[in-house]
Amino acid sequence: MSSFDKYAPDEINFSDEGFLSGLEFHQQLIANYSTRDTHNFGSKLFCNCPVIIRDDTPDFSVIRQQRAVSGETGEIDISANFEKLKKYKIRYEGYHDTTCLIELDEEPIMPINQEALFRTLAISKNIFKLNLVDEILISRKTIIDGSNTSGFQRTAMVAYKSQNSFIEVNGNKISIVQVNLEEDSAKNTGTKNGIKHYRLDRLGTPLIEIATGPDMTHPDEVLSVAKRIGELLRTTGWVRRGQGTIRQDLNISISEGSRIEIKGVSDLDLIPLYSKNEAIRQKRMLELLELFKIRNITIESIRDLEIINISELFSDTKVSIIQKNIKSGKQVFISKFPKFKGLLEFELQKNYRLGTEFSQICKVMAEVGGIMHSDEIENYDLSSAEIKSIQKKLSLKENDAFIILLSSSEQAKNSLNGLKQVLSSWILEQGIVPEVRSPRSDGTTGYLRPLPGKARMYPETDALPYQLNQTILTNISKIKFEFPEDRIARYKKDFNLSEEFSQRLSIHPKNSLFEIIVTEHKVDPTLVANTILSTLVNLRRDGFDISKINDQILIKIFSMLGEDKFSKDALELIFTSIINSKSHVNLEDLIANLDLKKLDQKSIEKIIEKIVSDNSQIVSERGMGSMGLLMRIAMEQLGGKADGKLISDLIRKKILS
């Protein structure tokens, strides 16, 4: 048996390996479908449904099954054909008030969201210096994994590379080659009883896709570029924030490898680890293919692989995992892999072995829970009699391996077909096969599907071409974006904000609201910044629905604060009262009902004087040590009616007098 190092290296020299990476940066846009939309959620790309991500019980569901169709070239795309083999059923769940027949693919789309299109064009032209296309052509991109009810994603290229379309990151020029406007996919909520579940609330959300050239030569540089693009988009105030609103597709290759797409990375901090591990994986895959040659593992031997039902061998097994699966109605299947002994322990990435890759392929092909294999047989507590029965059943030779599947007959068949298809492509290619991989939480990636080709695209028959006229181009030219570093400097200079607040606010979606409030009303800029960046965020984390505190309410609250209608210390109480109210709130009535009307200084001094007098003995005994007690008493009486700092200053002055 050929010897090999079964462990993947911790590090490699990225320059020596010819590491290259490009990014496809996806960010959800906020854009109302029409001026008649009064909500703050933004609308979908091809209908006026509001974009509200929900976790409550859906109002309805439908079950579908999707099939692959030929694209514009007349061929079925390789990735669509791969998904077709899985034969999934899909349950789509929706809500009567935030989803419609368009998301269900029961009604033709409406014209494209004009505001989303305009914002995408303005970002493309004025931030990334791209050339705008003359005519917007909406295409269908075949995707039959269930994430789109129609079996395709609608996408439109809006801009393409120019000589000046690049960003500078750490002194390096990173080219921006294309911008697309597309609709986001449905939200995957898991698989239950063999049926994939998706929510329709996210489906159709406007999504801007920004593609870079393969210009990054180190994993850390990929992270820096992703952060810079994110900063530039956030400074517009036109993009969504929060978990799930940003996803990156990483395109990674090494000089002897091929382009591999890591799909849907949402954790920016893991980008360097995904990039490094993919470079290591490609290097290790080349070593594995050499081992295939040495062992004479051929396309013919892969095609001859068979799956056998051996449930009868385990009728009296003591292995708990097998017992559990048999009781649940599953069967035990096995397949021999000639000349694979030891190879299933071969690490492709750190702590990710060929056996792990086999398991991943079986999961994506048939939703099996995983596999057991002979290279780890000692971990499963099989009896010596069971092992001998397997060896006899498969006529195992010294260098052979096997895998065990606990599944239904159809799952076992689909799993083996998937393994045969992937292994055959490796051997036929004799190199790294282009594919799409899914990110895992530990920084490794798992097999997802073959890399799509040109056959997946074809025209959208329900949308007319959209020409860019001079009026649109003129309006785009009027949009002026302020880059984050320039806005930081201005916030520090004009509003005397701290470095931290300036940095955070410069890329916050409510930075325009901040400027409206502080320029039109007599309020402390730091207080407004802290409210936006901290107070409201903390309320949300505590479970409050801060969507009730919309921009108009915030402006009104700070307007009244600037007019001394209440104390700044009453802000949080006002916020929670608005949130907890079951009906429309009149702020003047709310402040009156809460007894928050701000007192004049003479009235405050009179109350402080009485508090100190009532506790004169404690003040005499403790001096400044009585400060905490007096503040608590004062805040109980004056909370919301006077600023805490003023109360503190008056008490201190009274103690020292």
Q: Can you give the pLDDT at residue 343?
A: 96
246 close to 26: Cβ distance less than 8 angstroms: yes
* Predicted structure pTM score: 0.81
547-600 pLDDT, tens per residue? 888 888 999 999 988 888 887 878 888 888 889 888 777 888 887 777 666 666
Q: Can you give the pLDDT at residue 462?
A: 92
- Of 538, 540, 542, 521, give the one whose Cα is nearest residue 530: 538
Query: Within the chain, which residues score under 70 in pLDDT?
Result: 1-2, 37-39, 66-87, 453-455, 595-600, 635, 637-643
Domain residues of the chain, as ranges? Answer: 22-253, 292-433, 482-593, 601-656
Residue 359: CB atoms within 10 A of its CB come to 22
Long-range contacts of 593-596 (CB under 8 A, 24+ apart): 594/570, 594/640, 595/640, 595/641, 596/566, 596/567, 596/570, 596/640, 596/641
Mean pLDDT of the chain: 89
- Burial (CB count <10 Å: 0-12, 13-18, 19+), residue 168: exposed
Q: Give the amino acid at 398.
A: E
188-214 pLDDT, tens per residue? 888 887 788 999 999 999 999 999 999
Architecture of domain 292-433: 2-Layer Sandwich (3.30)
Instruction: Quote the CA–CA distance of 77 and 13 in Å, as a whole number.
Output: 36
Residue 592: CB atoms within 10 A of its CB come to 12
Q: Give the amino acid at 12.
A: I
Q: Can you give the pLDDT at residue 638?
A: 64
Tokens of 212: 């870079």
Hey, what CATH class is 601-656 in? mainly alpha
| Sheet containing strand 331-337, strands side by side | 308-309, 331-337, 401-407, 372-373
Apex 171 CA angle, 166 and 175, nearest 5:
20
Q: Can you give the pLDDT at residue 593?
A: 75
The DSSP secondary structure of 349-416, one letter per residue, reads ETTEEHHHHHHHHHHHHH-----EEGGGGGGTT--HHHHHHHHHHHT--TT-EEEEEEE-HHHHHHHH
Q: Give the amino acid at 473.
A: L
Instruction: Express the helix, strand and coil content of the chain in percent, nearest 5 each.
Output: 45, 20, 35
- Burial (CB count <10 Å: 0-12, 13-18, 19+), residue 365: buried
